[in-house]
Amino acid sequence: MATVSLTVNGKAVTANVDPRTLLVQLLRENLRLTGTHVGCDTSQCGACVVHLDGKAVKSCTTLALSVDGATVTTIEGLAVNGVLHPMQEAFREHHGLQCGYCTPGMIMAAVDMVSRRGHSLDEATIRDDLDGNICRCTGYHNIVKAIAAGAEAMGKAATPTRKAAE
Amino acid sequence: MYAFTYHRPATARQAAGLLAKKEDAKLLAGGHTLLPTMKQRLASPTHLVDLGGCADLRGIERKGRNVVIGAMTTHAEVADSAVVREAIPSLAYLASHIGDPHVRHRGTIGGSVANNDPAADYPAALMALGATIVTNKRKLTAEEFFTGLYETALEEGEIVVRISFPLVSKAGYAKFRNPASRYALVGVFVAKRGSEVSVAVTGAGEGGVFRWPEAEAALKARFAAKSLDGIKHTAKGINADMHADAEYRAHLIGVMAREAVARATGK
Ligand SMILES: Cc1cc2nc3c(=O)[nH]c(=O)nc-3n(C[C@H](O)[C@H](O)[C@H](O)COP(=O)(O)OP(=O)(O)OC[C@H]3O[C@@H](n4cnc5c(N)ncnc54)[C@H](O)[C@@H]3O)c2cc1C
Ligand code: FES
Ligand code: FES
């Protein structure tokens, strides 16, 4: 066993883990943050995407011990005082989901996309940048619409993008 | 995954010390090849030496007529680097087309070249640009470094420290992506330095990345996509799998080479 300390959704946490523990296991099993999903466990689907020091990563392909000292944001960390993050709100509004399994990863990828590419995202950019996120239900159409709208809404929201993402 | 002991050295020198001392130790970089392999139990190191804490292995620098990239620099950092975009834009382009955004945030140039996947992008760039691989022990040319399928000249305990890319006058990369994995079904990197031209092909060779002398000769006469008209790569020695047979891949080599030259010449 080894100790890992990090900041998750603004809170300092410390856990004692087997070195084999993946970041997604630390989040789900130790911290009970089950919003982050495991779809494939083979690095393909993006259901497990979280932000590591502000950047989207696949938490099924990251060791918990590797992120010692880092800052992690999960889907649970986006809403503020019960008010949905503009990107979450856009997914609700535009019905960017069906079963919802891919949704946490989609939304974390979408917020990362906005911090890399800004608030005005065209369809081609969004589809290209969703390379690492697979959805078995929607056919992507409403996800793309939701991301475009969410990106714009994030621009209008008072909080700067990075701040909201972290 | 089988159990291992985890180490997180702060410098490349400490990492080398651990590799030398510990039986059956393996380096961990971005983990985007190694961790999936360990999950499948195809790799089972006793000690894992994480290079993530080695600040001396990170960073991008322009040094005279070279761009020097630390082994732990991520694909996203190379893609977004103002230095790389200005000096070797084709290399930034290549990095920006590896996998997906999340993979690019973790995967590293050192891990990619050390792994030498026959469908990986970077080996083509290193080969065509005439890069030098600097390890903790020596310097190797790309030609010396990439020795075969998933094989490199790296010896036990040897660490890729940085990669040095000399500037070229023109360069371009084109890849036909496997639509599922985003790896190269075929990728071709062309580079022109003075009167020298090199054409390196990834994704296609049974033995990994290779150069294409016929195309180099034709482009040396005149550096234009048209020079490659009528030049075909043989299907002999070319990979065949469920994604594409050898004939199709051989055909794609020509198509990607012409596209890479068109990009290099801005046409
Ligand atoms: C979904 C997905 C899509 C991908 N698509 C592409 C693609 O389109 N094109 C592409 O080229 N790649 C692709 N990759 C691979 C990706 O680029 C990997 O990041 C890369 O191949 C390995 O780099 P890493 O830093 O993750 O290394 P790791 O997985 O940590 O290590 C790989 C190997 O290299 C060794 N190693 C690592 N660093 C060093 C060093 N400094 N010195 C010596 N040995 C070292 C390790 O011991 C290990 O054996 C993809 C990966 C995934 C998961
Ligand atoms: S669960 Fe991590 S990519 Fe699918
Ligand atoms: S909504 Fe079901 S997988 Fe995307």
Residue A144 domain flag: yes
pLDDT tens for A88-127 read: 999 999 999 999 999 999 999 999 999 999 999 999 999 9
**Which 3 state secondary structure label does DSSP give A48?**
coil
pLDDT tens for B105-154 read: 999 999 999 999 999 999 999 999 999 999 999 999 999 999 999 999 99
Report in angstroms the alpha-carbon separations of A24 from A19, A89, A100, B122, B166.
13, 24, 18, 29, 40
CB A61 within 8 A of CB B36: yes
Q: Same domain for A94 and A143? A: yes
Q: Same domain for A31 and A70? A: yes
pLDDT tens for A33-52 read: 999 999 999 999 999 999 99
Q: Same domain for A134 and A101? A: yes
Q: Same domain for A94 and A59? A: no
CA-based Rg of chain A, rounded to a whole angstrom? Answer: 15
Q: Same domain for A107 and A57? A: no
Whether the predicted pLDDT of A53 surpasses 70? yes
Residue A39 domain flag: yes
Contact A131 B36 (CB under 8 A): no
Q: Which of A42, A58, A77 is the last residue of a domain?
A: A77
Chain-wide mean pLDDT for chain B?
Answer: 97
Confidence of residue B180 (pLDDT cuts 50, 70, 90): confident
Residue A166 domain flag: no
Find how far residue A6's CA is from the centre of its chain.
17
pLDDT tens for B39-82 read: 999 999 999 999 999 999 999 999 999 999 999 999 999 999 99
Q: In chain A, at which residue ranges do the beta strands (DSSP E only) sit?
A: 2-8, 11-17, 49-52, 55-58, 71-73
pLDDT tens for B7-28 read: 999 999 999 999 999 999 999 9
Q: In chain B, at which residue ranges do the beta strands (DSSP E only) sit?
A: 5-7, 25-28, 47-50, 60-63, 66-70, 132-135, 139-141, 146-148, 151-152, 160-166, 170-177, 184-193, 196-202, 210-211
Interface residues on A facing B, Cβ-Cβ cutoff 8 A: 2, 18-20, 22, 41-44, 46, 49, 52, 55-58, 61-63, 65-66, 68, 109, 112-113, 116, 129, 131-133
Q: Same domain for A100 and A152? A: yes
% of chain A residues with pLDDT over 70: 95
Note the pLDDT of residue A166. 45
Note the pLDDT of residue B226. 97
Residue of A43, A103, A136 to mutate, ligand 2, most atoms within 8 A of C-beta: A43
Q: Which residue of B has its CA nearest to A58?
A: B102
Q: Which of A26, A55, A77 is the last residue of a domain?
A: A77
Do β-strands B25-28 and B47-50 pair in parallel, antiparallel, or remain unpaired?
parallel
End-to-end Cα separation, chain B, in angstroms: 49
ipTM of this complex: 0.94
Note the pLDDT of residue A160. 52
Q: Same domain for A10 and A56? A: yes
Total of domains in chain A: 2
HSE-CB of B113 using CA atoms within 13 angstroms: 36
Q: Same domain for A29 and A63? A: yes
Residue type, A85: H
CATH number, position A93: 1.10.150.120
Cβ atoms within 10 Å, residue B93: 19
Residue A71 domain flag: yes
**Structural domain of A14:** 2-77
Q: Same domain for A11 and A61? A: yes
Instruction: Name the burial class of residue B98, with classes exposed (0-12), middle (13-18) and buried (19+) by CB atoms within 10 angstroms of its CB.
Output: buried
Of the bound ligands, which one is closest to the alpha carbon of residue A23? 2
B133 pocket-lining for ligand 1 (C-beta < 6 Å): no
**Which 3 state secondary structure label does DSSP give A43?**
coil
CA-based Rg of chain B, rounded to a whole angstrom? Answer: 18
Residue A123 domain flag: yes
Q: Same domain for A69 and A132? A: no
Which domains, from first to last, does chain B contain?
5-53 (3.30.43.10), 55-166 (3.30.465.10), 170-264 (3.30.390.50)
| B1–A contact, CB cutoff 8 A | yes
Q: Same domain for A42 and A104? A: no
The Cα–Cα gap between A142 and A147 comes to 8
Mean pLDDT of the region A6-11: 98
Q: Same domain for A56 and A103? A: no
Q: Which of A59, A77, A95 is the last residue of a domain?
A: A77
CATH number, position A23: 3.10.20.30
Residue of B18, B98, B152, B176 to mutate, ligand 1, most atoms within 8 A of C-beta: B98
Residue A94 domain flag: yes
Q: How many CB pairs under 8 A join A and B?
A: 73
pLDDT tens for B147-167 read: 999 999 999 999 999 999 999
Q: Sign of the C-alpha dihedral, residues A88, A92, A97, A98?
A: positive
